[in-house]
Amino acid sequence: MRRLARLKESTGLWLNTRQRLNDAIELAELDDESLVPELTAEADALAADVERLAFRAKLGGKYDAEDAYLAIHAGAGGTDAQDWAAMLLRMYLRWAERRGFKTEIVDETPGDEAGIKSATVSIQGDYVYGYLKSEAGVHRLVRLSPFDAANRRHTSFCLVEVWPDVQEEIDITIDEKDLQIDTFRSSGAGGQNVQKNETAVRITHLPTGLVVSCQNERSQMQNKERALQVLKMRLLDLERRKQEEEFAELKGEHVSAGWGNAIRSYVLHPYQLVKDTRSGYETGNTQAVLDGDLDAFMEAYLAAHVGAAT
């Protein structure tokens, strides 16, 4: 039913746009000068709508229409990296807000002095995973450090992970003996009950080393169930990425997503520039990007990705 509703919504948009185009053509054929302002406005609106529909048509992956989980991990750079992780979290929350998507912070670990060490966010809306899959990888920041008394330039790194929130039943069996389950006190909001009791849960999947935490629910059992659900989706995504990497290696195009291969650089000093190393798209409006204006980067990545795939 969920898939059917999305298909109806998608086809409805195309059919409505086609009807508007036909109506505009009929009005234009009347050759009435008084209709020029109305037709001009409608032509501009239609151009924008068609551009959005053309972009959505590229979101044809198996899970592109699904909700998504996004995780941010501070890497090399100490306090600067943890502050950079907090900046990225704000950037993605602002992006989701701009699109009217629902967000929920599932887990967040504060930094030692500032920022965060890691955070996991659930983002819900149409084609969230299709948009956000472009963000997976290492993000590099170059700036004058606010934590350096000498005001020197520092480079910080963060890893962003994205996986689909698959709503259908996931056919993955997890053996209990493969799990290490730890409980701890929540560091986030949730009232006195959450703060005083060890309601937060951390699950480590020993065969893969995947670690999943959840602390936003009020009970330990709820957090465990949520964490297991997320772990299943991460294992599903891990298998999917392995298959894609094996195929890419056969084609001779495989590039590791390690720390040495940043997908995007954000330079705030000595000049202002955000550049995606995969699509080549760049902009000097760094503040807009950090405020969540990411659509152009996502579209450029998808255009390059679809073009390479074909």
| pLDDT tens-digit series, residues 281-308 | 999 999 999 999 999 999 899 888 765 5
Domain 176-246 in CATH 3.30.160.20:
yes
C-alpha distances in angstroms, 37 versus 32, 33, 40, 159? 11, 8, 5, 49
Phi and psi (nearest 5°) for 168?
-75, 165
Q: Which CATH number fits domain 67-168+258-309: 3.40.50.10490, 3.30.70.1660, 1.10.645.10, 3.40.630.30?
A: 3.30.70.1660
Q: Give the pLDDT score at 190.
A: 44
C-alpha distances in angstroms, 119 versus 57, 97, 166, 215? 31, 17, 20, 11
Domains 67-168+258-309 and 176-246 share a fold: no
- Please determine, for residue 23, whether its predicted confidence score (pLDDT) is greater than 90: yes
Q: Round to whole Å and give the CA distance between 203 and 227.
A: 7
Residue 178 or residue 251, greater confidence: 178
Average pLDDT, the chain: 86
- The full set of domain ranges for the chain reads 2-57, 67-168+258-309, 176-246
- Please determine, for residue 95, whether its predicted confidence score (pLDDT) is greater than 90: yes
Q: Give the pLDDT score at 65.
A: 85
Q: Give the pLDDT score at 170.
A: 63
Residue 25 or residue 53, greater confidence: 25
Least confident among 53-57, 158-162, 208-212: 53-57
98-150 pLDDT per residue, tens: 999 999 999 999 998 999 999 999 999 988 999 999 999 999 999 999 998 88
Q: Give the pLDDT score at 254.
A: 44
The angle at the Cα of 233, spanning 228 to 238, to the nearest 5 degrees, equals 120
C-alpha distances in angstroms, 206 versus 77, 118, 176, 178, 307? 28, 20, 10, 5, 38
Three-state DSSP state, 297: helix
Name the band, by pLDDT with cuts 50, 70 and 90, for residue 256: very low
